[in-house]
């Protein structure tokens, strides 16, 4: 059921993204080409799907909020383009495809990222069918999650701690900021756009926190147990790069225990939700068996 | 009078910017330091001032819209940081100060730009005292002006035409996109936030178009007639870099005529406005005698 849901919603998101970032009748065409290259480079559309599943979980209709959902994907994609730049992680490949700066050059890659970040707001602000004050609140939260106190701040810590030893508090702050904050904004956006009650929004926020934690720990585990073919980068690259991870700071076994606990906590946060929340439950359970 | 207005409004903007991008109790501190370094590197606050003067010109109170005004300055500042990067214009100095990547490194400069762009939206979305639907429309216009069809698109053309001959149509499109679009968004934002009537918004839009044109032509003239001390970069650098400008494509005399005409047109657009629009009139007239 989860696979079907993700495929179905993924298609809807792809279709909407293609319309939001068109390739025809645009000038200058190169920048749109670069923006689309990364947007359609095999992303799993996890943030849009989390938004939609959160809206569904309280009886809303997730696909009514495609503008905000796609905005989240555009923000995520811009962050990958900039993270891959030579001045940052200097990665030539992502998901087995050449990174933006390898294809379009560094200057254009920076601009493609800037373009996607800016367009994300254009697209989100054009979200139809939502009360204007609710929309402002939701996009405000997303901008906060994506900013210097959130995703960008996490990348700053990542960048400045390369090759240095960081402690577990810094590591967990970094991940919460770099990845967790946008997951949380996605889930909260779905809940708020669909008109969730306070208790529902609070429960979904807790779910999202635990989801983010489980996502990051299993990401670190995959770096050790995954295959290059599936994860799209050399196995053990974190260890090789002396990167602090949940596995290197604890152990593989302990990291697996922690991931299990986070999933249990996420499910617990949904205990008052009916079967409408089954997709969210499956999404977090799936992290324990992910291979990419 | 203009000088006093600009000094007074500049101070208000500086004060608000310092509050919107704080230096205390923020984590990680480095990114905020980098964002503030460029925000307070001697900018003339032209876009916030245009917004405020436009609101004033129709009987509003420009300083009521500091969030949106500061958002414009943050967007402008991020664009300068990214334009100066080695992969773009590769400039070591701006306004006589070291550029962001020379002080903080390339990775941090990219992130400081990203942080300012993102924070611009956080700050604008928090604008108090404005109807939510009006605010959404205004910020949507600003995001469009800043995006791939506006400012970023202009930079793409600039980047890809370096050392190449471009015709006058491409040049004027490039400038309109790179600089004009955000000027226009600033003026329109002030008009719309202050509740301007359709005819007022239309007149101010025309004013802004002519202002942008006059700004760019006089910028090209300054490259030839200015002093390094005042313009903060070597005189004649456009000619040296084989950059197409209004002066190189026409002549100095013809460019001066064109600047005069644009200023006349801008004043003409304000002909039905009272003395409340005097600041806007002085702002555009001042372009003809600018020395930086």
Q: Hey, what are B215's tokens?
A: 């700004």
Chain centroid to CA B101: how far? 21
State the pLDDT confidence band at A83, using cuts at 50, 70 and 90: very high
Across chain B, which has 292 residues, the per-10-residue mean pLDDT values are 96 98 94 98 96 98 98 98 96 94 98 98 98 98 98 95 86 94 98 98 98 96 84 71 86 96 98 98 96 83
- Least confident span in A5-19, A47-61, A212-226, A232-246: A232-246
Cα distance between residue B162 and residue B160, in whole Å? 6
Helix (H) or strand (E) holding A98: strand A97-98
Residue-wise pLDDT for A205-215, tens only, equals: 999 999 999 99
Q: Which of A161, A159, A174 is nearest to A89 (CA)?
A: A159
Q: How far is the C-alpha of A287 from the C-alpha of A285, rounded, in Å? A: 5
Q: SS3 sequence, B242-264?
A: CCCCHHHHCCHHHHHHHHHHHHH
Report cis status (omega within 30 of 0) of the bond before B28: yes
CB-nearest partner of A126 from B35, B107, B140: B140
Question: Could you give the angle at the alpha carbon of A125 between the alpha carbons of B51 and A120, nearest 5°?
Answer: 100
Model pLDDT, residue B128: 98
Would you call B105 and A125 a contact, using CB atoms and an 8 Å cutoff? no
Q: Are A113 and A81 in contact (CB under 8 A)?
A: yes
From chain A, the residues in CB contact with B87 under 8 A are 105-107, 110
Helix B66-83 crosses helix B181-193 at what angle (to 10 degrees)? 170
pLDDT for position B165: 82
The torsion angle over the Cα atoms of residues A5, A6, A11 and A16, rounded to 10 degrees, is: 100
Q: Which residues pair with A94 in a beta bridge?
A: A97
CA–CA dist B55, B63 (Å, integer): 9
Looking at residue B100, its pLDDT comes to 98
Q: How many CB atoms lie within 10 A of CB A268?
A: 12
Angle at Cα A29 formed by Cα A27 and Cα A35, nearest 5°? 115
Residue with tokens 């299993």: A218
Residue B172 to residues A27, A34, B55, B79, B268, Cα–Cα distance (Å): 14, 24, 28, 19, 21
Work out the mean pLDDT of chain A and round it to a whole number.
95
Percentage of chain A beyond pLDDT 70 is: 99
Q: Which pLDDT score is estimated for A229?
A: 75
The pLDDT tens digits for A117-166 are 999 999 999 999 999 999 999 999 999 999 999 999 999 999 988 778 88
Q: Does A72 touch chain B (CB under 8 A)?
A: no
Judge whether residue A227 has pLDDT over 80.
no
- Report pLDDT for B162: 77
CB contact under 8 A, B31 and A122: no
The pLDDT score that the predictor gives to residue A164 is 80
Q: Which of B13, B148, B137, B5 is nearest to B72 (CA)?
A: B13
**Quick one: pLDDT at residue A169?**
93
The secondary element (H helix, E strand) that includes residue A174 is helix A168-175
Which of the four pLDDT bands, split at 50, 70 and 90, describes residue A267? very high
Domain boundaries, chain A: 2-289
Q: Does A65 touch chain B (CB under 8 A)?
A: no
> Is the Cβ of B119 closer than 8 Å to some Cβ of chain A?
yes
Task: Return the pLDDT at A291.
Answer: 85
Pick A31's closest partner by Cβ from B105, B110, B156. B156
How confident is the model at residue A238, as a pLDDT?
74
Give yes or no for B125 touching A (CB within 8 A).
Answer: yes
Q: Looking at beta carbons, which residues of chain A come within 8 Å of B136?
A: 125, 132, 135-136
pLDDT digits 0-9 by tens, B244-272: 889 999 999 999 999 999 999 999 999 99
Tell me which long-range contacts A39-46 makes (C-beta under 8 A, separation of at least 24).
A39/A73, A39/A74, A39/A77, A39/A116, A40/A14, A41/A94, A41/A95, A41/A97, A42/A95, A42/A96, A42/A97, A43/A73, A43/A76, A43/A77, A43/A95, A44/A6, A44/A10, A45/A6, A45/A9, A45/A10, A45/A13, A45/A14, A45/A73, A46/A183
Confidence of residue A44 (pLDDT cuts 50, 70, 90): very high
Q: Pairing relation of β-strands A97-98 and B97-98?
A: unpaired
Cα-trace Rg, chain A: 18
Surface of A (216-275) touching B: CB under 8 A? none
Q: Please report residues of B whose CB lies closer than 8 A to that of A136.
A: 125, 132, 135-136
Residue range A157-193, pLDDT digits in tens: 999 887 788 899 999 999 999 999 999 999 999 999 9
Q: Which fold has domain B2-289?
A: Farnesyl Diphosphate Synthase (1.10.600)
ipTM of the shown complex: 0.97
């Amino acid at each position: 059921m989860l696979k079907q849901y993700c495929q179905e919603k993924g298609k809807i998101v792809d279709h909407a993204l293609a319309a939001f970032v068109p390739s025809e009748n645009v000038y200058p065409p190169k920048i749109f080409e670069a923006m689309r290259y990364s947007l359609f480079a095999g992303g799993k559309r996890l943030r849009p799907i989390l938004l939609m599943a959160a809206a569904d979980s309280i009886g809303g209709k997730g696909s009514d909020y495609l503008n905000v959902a796609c905005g989240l994907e555009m923000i995520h994609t811009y962050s990958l383009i900039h993270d891959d730049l030579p001045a940052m992680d200097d990665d030539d490949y992502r998901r087995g495809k050449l990174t933006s700066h390898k294809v379009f050059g560094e200057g254009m890659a920076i601009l493609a990222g800037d373009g996607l970040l800016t367009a994300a707001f254009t697209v989100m602000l054009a979200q139809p069918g939502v009360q204007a004050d609710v929309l402002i609140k939701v996009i405000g939260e997303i901008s906060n999650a994506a900013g210097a106190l959130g995703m960008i701040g996490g990348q700053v810590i990542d960048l400045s701690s390369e090759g240095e030893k960081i402690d577990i508090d810094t590591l967990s702050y970094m991940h919460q900021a770099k990845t967790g904050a946008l997951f949380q904004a996605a889930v909260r956006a779905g809940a708020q756009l669909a008109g969730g009650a306070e208790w529902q929004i609070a429960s979904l926020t807790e779910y999202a926190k635990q989801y983010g934690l489980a996502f990051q720990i299993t990401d670190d585990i995959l770096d050790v147990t995954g295959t290059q073919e599936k994860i799209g980068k050399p196995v053990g690259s974190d260890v090789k790069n002396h990167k602090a991870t949940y596995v290197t700071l604890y152990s593989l076994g302990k990291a697996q225990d922690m991931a299990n606990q986070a999933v249990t906590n996420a499910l617990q946060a949904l205990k008052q939700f009916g079967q409408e929340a089954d997709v969210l439950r499956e999404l977090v359970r799936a992290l324990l068996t992910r291979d990419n």
